[in-house]
Amino acid sequence: MNNYQPWEKYHGRIVSSRGGWKIGSGVQNCGYDMMNDLVGKTSYMQVVVLNATGRLPSKAIADWIEAIHICLSWPDPRIWCNRIGALAGSSRTSGVAANCLGVLAAESSSYGIKPLISGVEFIEHAYAQINKGITVENFITEEIKKHGGKPYLMGYARPIAKGDERISAMEVVTEKLGFPIGEHLSLAYKIEAILNTEFDESMNINGYVSAFLADQGFSAVEVYRMFSAVVLSGVTACYADTADRLEGSFAPLKTTDVVYKGTPLRSI
């Protein structure tokens, strides 16, 4: 017996739980026949979730996820990932590269994909604490202590602006698709009510999405995988806009636009 034995079963072969293409007999995807079971019978977003989680969601859940993808990516190049797309277009980088770079940027602890992981973990943690008998008020008090007395709970208090127009848009979608308010989302609303009264802060879209998806049984890791390219369409828009303009014309900077605060001129 050697210490590298666990790798030996993968040496010289590919092992997949998802599926693959066997030439002449078709494409398997998580137990489904891709061409006969999925193409033309499911939405693209259903297959995205299938590939990410191994489970084929209902059309309604996939439609909800598609709607939130629209909410979470908009064509404003001031948003960081979009700015990178815009800079790429202005620099005449390829469109594929621009899209990938913008998506890569959104792997951020401040915005994009990572807060969704933290959001799901937070509301699951909150739900577990409340089920242990802690009151919502006490839970919030303890969480605020962790943040130096500030009400910056994950999923609440939006950066740059207060309030979040995307939640009301998604509440309409949720109702239209026939989803009831689940236990995680219900708790999220209770937390919001207290924060709103005491700190004039409200839920942000991350809090809403995280709670809804937790109610649907998705784990934080699954959400991360499902939403990996969530910012893509906004990046594409910002790339396309600047790629069609004068090269170098997105936010060009003069030397006087940058303030040098380093060591004055010195010799080697």
Partner 1 sequence: MTSSTINSASSSVKSRGDVFANKIETKITDEQSPDHNPYHVNKQLIHGYDHLDLLENCNFADVIYLLLRGNLPSEKDSLLFNKLALALINPGPRHPAAQASITAGVGKSDTVNILPIALGVYGGTFDGAGNIELTMRFLRKAAKKLVVEFEEDALNKKIPSITQHYGDADTYANILLEKLKPYAIEGNVFSWLCQLQTLIYSKNIGVTKTSIAAAVFADLGFQPRQGGALMQLLAAPGLLAHGLEFSNKPVTAMLFEPDETYHIETTNNE
- Judge contact between 153 and 195, C-beta under 8 A: yes
105 binds partner 1 (CB under 8 A): yes
The alpha carbon of residue 266 and the mean position of all alpha carbons in its chain are separated, in whole angstroms, by 47
Q: Rank residues 91 and 196 by Cβ distance to partner 1 and give the closer one.
A: 91
248 binds partner 1 (CB under 8 A): yes
> Using the rule CB under 8 A, is 244 a contact of partner 1?
no
The one-letter code for the residue type at 170 is: M
Distance CA 199, CA 46 (A): 39
Q: How far is the CB of 72 from partner 1 (least distance, A)?
A: 15
- Establish if 87 lies at the interface with partner 1 (CB under 8 A): yes
Q: Is 7 in the site for partner 1 (CB under 8 A)?
A: yes
The tokens 């590298």 sit on which residue? 4
For residue 58, what are the CA distances in angstroms to 62, 84, 174? 6, 35, 14
Site map 249..268 versus partner 1, x via CB under 8 A: -xxxxxx-xx----------
70 binds partner 1 (CB under 8 A): no
165 binds partner 1 (CB under 8 A): no
Is 3 near partner 1 (CB under 8 A)? Answer: yes
In the complex with partner 1, the residue whose CB is nearer, 156 or 212, is 156
Cα–Cα distance for residue pair 194/22, rounded to 1 Å: 56
Cα-Cα-Cα-Cα dihedral of 20, 22, 24, 26, to 10°?
Answer: -20
Q: Are 156 and 195 in contact (CB under 8 A)?
A: yes
Residue 238 as a binder of partner 1 (CB under 8 A): the answer is no
Sign of CA dihedral 205, 112, 235, 248: positive
Amino acid at residue number 211: A
**Please, which residue, 88 or 185, has the CB nearer to partner 1?**
88
Nearer to partner 1, 45 or 103 (CB): 103
One residue of 20, 44, 94, 146 binding partner 1 per CB under 8 A: 94
Over the range 129-144, which residues count as b (16 or more CB within 10 Å of their CB) and which as e? bbeeeeeeeebbeebb
Q: Which stretch binds partner 1 (CB under 8 A): 63-71, 76-84, 140-148, 150-158?
A: 76-84
Residue ranges that bind partner 1, judged by CB under 8 A: 2-4, 7, 23-24, 26, 78, 80-81, 83-84, 87-88, 90-94, 97-98, 100-101, 104-111, 159-160, 247-248, 250-255, 257-258
